[in-house]
Copies of this chain bind each other. A is one copy, B any other.
Amino acid sequence: MTEKERLKRLSEDVYRANMEIVEKGLVIFTFGNVSGIDRASGIVAIKPSGVDYGELSPANMVLLDLQGNIVEGDFNPSSDTKTHLKLYNAFEEIGGVVHTHSRYASSWAQARKSLPCFGTTHADYFYGEIPCTDVISDGSIAKDYEDETGALIVDTFREKDYRSIKAVLVACHGPFTWGKDVGEAVFISAVLEEVARMGSLTIEINPDSTGIKPALLDKHYLRKHGKDAYYGQGRGRSI
């Protein structure tokens, strides 16, 4: 495929993913955005800002380079674009980023709590708790808010592996997720919402609930991911 063909396909994938997060109930109104990257050219495709989902099409996705310069597109890119770019620059193996205000994940973010790994549903997809960032500082808000939000996420993963925990809760805001491509980023976004929902029920049923023990986390995560995976019809996928 030529670069042009790859970017055309990327715009289509990003468009479809933006529609999918609405269909999956992760987004109401315009409260979300998906981007994807073509690593060979370093070009990112992202949803335009504040356009109703009914009017989106592959053609109005905005294309930018990793410094944020618009390469193609007549619309303003999502107001969260700089956060996406920061993630692409820091997490070099990811191919897609999703941001939503999905109900349960955002409520954990609003509660300023990391989501513990309470069970195997979580452990099957995330190798540990989903961290909640610190509340962004007033200085960062004043400086370059969206860029600094990205920096805050990257800083939160300083001692974590973004390849085995593909989600973060931005305090007082909501989740960002990522994956090897936009499809995986959307999938992770949906799984996160489900485990966030089950997590809130878990502590409602038993306020003393704690995360699962390391041996069980290892077992479930590693039977699906990595070189010894035995779930599914082949080896577990990972980025």
Contacts and interface: CB of A to CB of B under 8 A. Distances in A.
Residue among A29, A121, A194, A213 with most chain B CB within 10 A: A121
Residue among A50, A101, A138, A172 with most chain B CB within 10 A: A172
A210 to B, nearest CB: 9
Contact of A232 (B76, B109, B112, B119): B76
A167 to B, nearest CB: 16
Interface of A: 28-29, 31, 48-51, 75-76, 79, 101, 103-104, 106-113, 118-121, 124, 135-136, 138, 141-142, 145, 172-174, 187, 190-191, 194, 197-206, 209, 212-213, 215-216, 219, 223, 230-233
Given A200-B201, A206-B111, A206-B112, A136 B232 contact: no
B110 A233 contact: no
A187 B75 CA distance: 24
Contacts of A206: 111-113
A201 B111 CA distance: 9
B173 A119 contact: yes
B198 A204 contact: no
B194 A103 contact: yes
A45 to B, nearest CB: 17
A75 to B, nearest CB: 6
B136 A201 contact: no
A49 to B, nearest CB: 5
Nearest to A146: B223
B79 A223 contact: yes
Given A51-B233, A103-B198, A141-B215, A205 B113 contact: yes
A27 to B, nearest CB: 11
Given A48-B233, A79-B230, A109-B119, 12 more contacts: A79-B223, A103-B197, A106-B198, A107-B205, A110-B119, A110-B201, A111-B118, A111-B201, A120-B173, A135-B216, A138-B215, A145-B223
